[in-house]
Amino acid sequence: MKLVDANVLLYAVDADARHHTEAKAWLDTALNSRETVAIPWVCALAFVRLTTSSRIYPNPLPVDRAFDILNGWMSRSSVISLEPGSGHADRMRTLLAEVGTGGNLVTDAHLAALAVENRATIVTFDGDFARFPGVVWHRPGD
């Protein structure tokens, strides 16, 4: 199972993004494969929040368009959303203790805990996931 970080979703639709080509190619291939692709709601909501923000994009997507894209991904038979299991908060706490910080890594720890719970590989351009022991991650294009 591959767990997709928000940055892959964002780069896949932003033709001007530095990692657009790798993100789009990876996402297109993954969505058309038999492997399970997990898009956690925290990543789905980040996609909608950021792509519709005029503070982030000079030409933000209309909300309806962002949800159409998201629904297109989520409607695929191979795509699921993941819910935290029992012990999720304790797993997050342990992961954050192991890296010695919280703050901006809290959402990453949430995704890392989801990945550990579901034996998933995180697909991301964010190298911070390497800080979490036992978490497997992959950068599209590598």
The predicted-structure confidence for 18-39, as pLDDT tens digits, reads as follows 999 999 999 999 999 999 999 9
Confidence of residue 60 (pLDDT cuts 50, 70, 90): very high
Angle (nearest 5°) at CA 39 between 98 and 116: 30
Domains in the chain (CATH in brackets) are 1-142 (3.40.50.1010)
- Is 142 one of the annotated binding-site residues? no
Report the pLDDT value the prediction gives residue 104, as an integer from 0 to 100.
Answer: 85
* 107-125 average pLDDT score: 97
Q: Is 28 annotated as a binding residue?
A: no
How much is the pTM? Answer: 0.95
Average pLDDT of 79-101? 93
Q: Which residues lie below 8 Å from residue 39, measured CB to CB, with a gap of 6+?
A: 4, 9, 73, 74, 79, 80, 81
How does the average pLDDT of the chain come out, rounded?
96
